[in-house]
Chain A
């Protein structure tokens, strides 16, 4: 403990040497190239999609932008490579992309067998339900007797069966092969609800004729699915950078810094946390291998995590409540180490 403190103090004081200690092949390559190569989904609502002008948008895309902003100083200096789920990990391992941010679940085998690093979780989800508002149902247990549209060939159905058995109720399922068929069935009233992971349910809801007629059930089943970026193993400094880029967006939200008020908040702040965040104190940028204003740029150009969530999944996007993705002090799971 004391050794760590001494080391930390040493780093704090020896700013120049701290810079030299950040050695990362990926970080060096990105700086040299002047561009981040980000592996993303070929198109999925919420995470990564193209708006009608062809610009990439979404939660994952915002993280790509934030990393580029921190490293090369502009959120626009990103080359997006759309990847299918089958090729994503081999493309990451081959070095063709710098980071994979493609609605990918963090799992034991991906970490160990594939040797990939799991820097941060930018989206917590689980099997989520949406039901018709006029059912008057607020909780999962009250769905006894209701029929839910489900996709086949997934664990969604077994999760429901397990839940039924554990709670002694009967949620009926109606199976479908294709999402579009299931959406249509739900919309036409053949079932009372639809279930899938949180992001997919939110997307399904926005295809309904009247999305406002459908509500989300707050509980999820089948365990937690942590979704986030992945990096190649063996490049710890790069993994750290990706992790802290995500944390910086959380820290901004914790401190109440938004895209709109960032400039104003940066004017001579008295709060030491805010001072450290904006790089007015400490050498946090240098310790990551970037300049000291990296976090300020991110919040100015992209916004804090809450703002990004609002635009992609939240009220301005798919209408999915923050739920698990809220900050720790608002009942959510998004948390971060202290900024010291």
Chain B
């Protein structure tokens, strides 16, 4: 009850953030400005300071990135003057997206992307989707199989492409997807384990979660790159990318577990009791009654974790794998294109921003929809 009244206090402010242009009239715009930018002396000062900063920074950035920029040509000689040299980005665009994946096989990356998007749409679409559960299951079973076959090859007449040739944004997406697909189920199990009545399972779950949450991701990645090969029998090596993926899954499962646990705590105890009176066994109770409600509550939290881990994937450059940022770093070392750091990093930032913004705006829509569903 109290949460609902709090929510009603907050919501009226939200529509005010609608873009002023959406309502006709100058008056509305002035009112919007006054309400959102000059509502108090403190806010007025902030607005003025931010405005001054933007007035100082934006024109210079615009001049650099757009007005004086070079976009044509194929060599560094094409770039002169003070502007950005986007030619550098354009020449290396395929590298930034798929790394050293053989040019003749690049269509497979595209096909894999189409498959991934195809499986994602029915799961993520708003409104009623028939058999969403089945699509959800397929996204984490059939989809990785198809994508894996396409990218790796070695079967069905597709030439084998070693993971040492993978790179660029493709690695970010693949590693993020595998991490999500692995960390969510593992996280759910750990969250359930942490609430278990059985002290051994509870103890092990707590130990796992706290251990992985207490270690920096960098350390985990280093362990996967440096220690694991030493422990393996001579001559046996596990793929570097695979090791990094496993490390990411194990690490993020601990965070997922805590997010899911938050959801489990939000499900009223009566639900479990009611399920028990119906004669459901523990697993049935969790799978049919508790988890569907808990996951619904924490869906925005899960998406938030996904956005975080997507950005964390860039850390794999520290173990020599080249994700988008890694490929950009490599590109900066080409003697024919030295001194392109600003362009390279600006491009990487832009791509990451677009990806993360899409994810978080989806999360916000989802949250709004879930809240609406809650209110009725």
Taking Cβ atoms with an 8 Å cutoff, the residues of A that contact B are 29, 42-46, 49-54, 79-84, 86-87, 90-91, 93-96, 180, 183, 203, 206-207, 317-318
For A87, what are the chain B residues with a Cβ–Cβ distance below 8 Å?
222, 225-226, 319-320
Contacting residue for B235 out of A29, A49, A52, A203, CB 8 A: A29
Minimal Cβ-Cβ distance residue in B for A47: B333
The answer to whether B338 and A207 have CB atoms under 8 Å apart is: yes
7 interchain pairs (CB within 8 A)? A49-B335, A54-B100, A87-B225, A91-B226, A96-B237, A96-B240, A203-B338
For the complex, count residues of B whose C-beta is within 8 A of A: 38
Which residue among B234, B326, B336, B338 has the maximum number of chain A CB atoms within 10 Å of its CB?
B338
| A46 to B334 CA separation, bound complex (whole angstroms) | 8
User: Would you give the 0/1 interface string for B327-367, flagging 1 where the beta carbon is closer than 8 Å to chain A?
Assistant: 00111111111110100000000000000000000000000
For A29, what are the chain B residues with a Cβ–Cβ distance below 8 Å?
235
The answer to whether A50 and B331 have CB atoms under 8 Å apart is: yes
Contacting residue for A93 out of B230, B326, B335, CB 8 A: B230
The answer to whether B335 and A95 have CB atoms under 8 Å apart is: no
For A94, what are the chain B residues with a Cβ–Cβ distance below 8 Å?
226, 229-230, 232, 237
Minimal Cβ-Cβ distance residue in A for B228: A94
Asked if B158 is an interface residue, CB under 8 A from chain A, the answer is no
| A318 to B335 CA separation, bound complex (whole angstroms) | 7
The 3 closest A-B pairs by CB, nearest first: A94-B229, A43-B330, A43-B333
Asked if B317 is an interface residue, CB under 8 A from chain A, the answer is yes
Minimal Cβ-Cβ distance residue in B for A52: B91
Q: Least Cβ distance of A182 to chain B in Å?
A: 13
Asked whether A49 and B333 contact (CB < 8 A) given A81-B164, A90-B230, the answer is yes
The answer to whether A43 and B329 have CB atoms under 8 Å apart is: yes
The answer to whether B320 and A49 have CB atoms under 8 Å apart is: no
Minimal Cβ-Cβ distance residue in A for B240: A81
Minimal Cβ-Cβ distance residue in B for A203: B338
Known: A44-B333, A91-B225. 14 other contacts (CB 8 A): A42-B317, A45-B338, A50-B100, A52-B92, A79-B162, A82-B320, A83-B320, A90-B229, A93-B230, A94-B232, A95-B229, A95-B237, A203-B338, A317-B335
Q: Least Cβ distance of A86 to chain B in Å?
A: 7
Asked if B300 is an interface residue, CB under 8 A from chain A, the answer is no
Minimal Cβ-Cβ distance residue in B for A82: B320
| A336 to B318 CA separation, bound complex (whole angstroms) | 37
Contacting residue for A51 out of B227, B230, B334, CB 8 A: B334
For A96, what are the chain B residues with a Cβ–Cβ distance below 8 Å?
229, 237, 240
For B237, what are the chain A residues with a Cβ–Cβ distance below 8 Å?
94-96
For B240, what are the chain A residues with a Cβ–Cβ distance below 8 Å?
81, 96
For B337, what are the chain A residues with a Cβ–Cβ distance below 8 Å?
52
Asked if B193 is an interface residue, CB under 8 A from chain A, the answer is no
Q: Least Cβ distance of B273 to chain A in Å?
A: 53
For B222, what are the chain A residues with a Cβ–Cβ distance below 8 Å?
86-87
| A183 to B340 CA separation, bound complex (whole angstroms) | 13
The answer to whether A54 and B320 have CB atoms under 8 Å apart is: no
For B330, what are the chain A residues with a Cβ–Cβ distance below 8 Å?
42-43, 49-50, 82
Asked if B95 is an interface residue, CB under 8 A from chain A, the answer is yes
| A220 to B53 CA separation, bound complex (whole angstroms) | 46
The answer to whether A45 and B334 have CB atoms under 8 Å apart is: yes
| A96 to B330 CA separation, bound complex (whole angstroms) | 22
Asked if B205 is an interface residue, CB under 8 A from chain A, the answer is no
The A-contacting residues of B in range 25-68, CB under 8 angstroms, are none
The A-contacting residues of B in range 56-109, CB under 8 angstroms, are 91-92, 94-95, 99-100
For B339, what are the chain A residues with a Cβ–Cβ distance below 8 Å?
183, 206-207
For A52, what are the chain B residues with a Cβ–Cβ distance below 8 Å?
91-92, 95, 331, 334, 336-337
Minimal Cβ-Cβ distance residue in A for B102: A54
Asked if B322 is an interface residue, CB under 8 A from chain A, the answer is yes
Asked whether A206 and B319 contact (CB < 8 A) given A50-B95, A52-B92, the answer is no
Asked whether A51 and B162 contact (CB < 8 A) given A87-B226, A87-B320, the answer is no
The answer to whether B235 and A42 have CB atoms under 8 Å apart is: no
Contacting residue for A42 out of B92, B227, B329, CB 8 A: B329
For A45, what are the chain B residues with a Cβ–Cβ distance below 8 Å?
333-335, 338
Which residue among A29, A45, A93, A96 has the maximum number of chain B CB atoms within 10 Å of its CB?
A96
| A52 to B330 CA separation, bound complex (whole angstroms) | 10
Minimal Cβ-Cβ distance residue in A for B164: A79
Which residue among B232, B317, B335 has the maximum number of chain A CB atoms within 10 Å of its CB?
B335
The answer to whether B164 and A84 have CB atoms under 8 Å apart is: no
The answer to whether B320 and A84 have CB atoms under 8 Å apart is: yes
Contacting residue for B95 out of A46, A54, A80, A318, CB 8 A: A54
Minimal Cβ-Cβ distance residue in B for A57: B334
| A6 to B225 CA separation, bound complex (whole angstroms) | 48
For A86, what are the chain B residues with a Cβ–Cβ distance below 8 Å?
222, 226, 318
Q: Least Cβ distance of B330 to chain A in Å?
A: 4
Minimal Cβ-Cβ distance residue in B for A48: B333
| A93 to B227 CA separation, bound complex (whole angstroms) | 11
Minimal Cβ-Cβ distance residue in B for A317: B335
Minimal Cβ-Cβ distance residue in B for A51: B334
Q: Least Cβ distance of A53 to chain B in Å?
A: 8
| A45 to B336 CA separation, bound complex (whole angstroms) | 9
For B332, what are the chain A residues with a Cβ–Cβ distance below 8 Å?
43
| A79 to B133 CA separation, bound complex (whole angstroms) | 42
The answer to whether A95 and B234 have CB atoms under 8 Å apart is: yes
Q: Least Cβ distance of B146 to chain A in Å?
A: 26
Minimal Cβ-Cβ distance residue in B for A207: B339
For A83, what are the chain B residues with a Cβ–Cβ distance below 8 Å?
320
| A50 to B99 CA separation, bound complex (whole angstroms) | 10
Minimal Cβ-Cβ distance residue in B for A319: B335
The answer to whether B317 and A49 have CB atoms under 8 Å apart is: no
| A46 to B92 CA separation, bound complex (whole angstroms) | 19
Contacting residue for B99 out of A54, A81, A203, CB 8 A: A54
Which residue among A29, A94, A318 has the maximum number of chain B CB atoms within 10 Å of its CB?
A94
For A183, what are the chain B residues with a Cβ–Cβ distance below 8 Å?
339
Q: Least Cβ distance of A278 to chain B in Å?
A: 33
The A-contacting residues of B in range 224-246, CB under 8 angstroms, are 225-227, 229-230, 232, 234-235, 237, 240
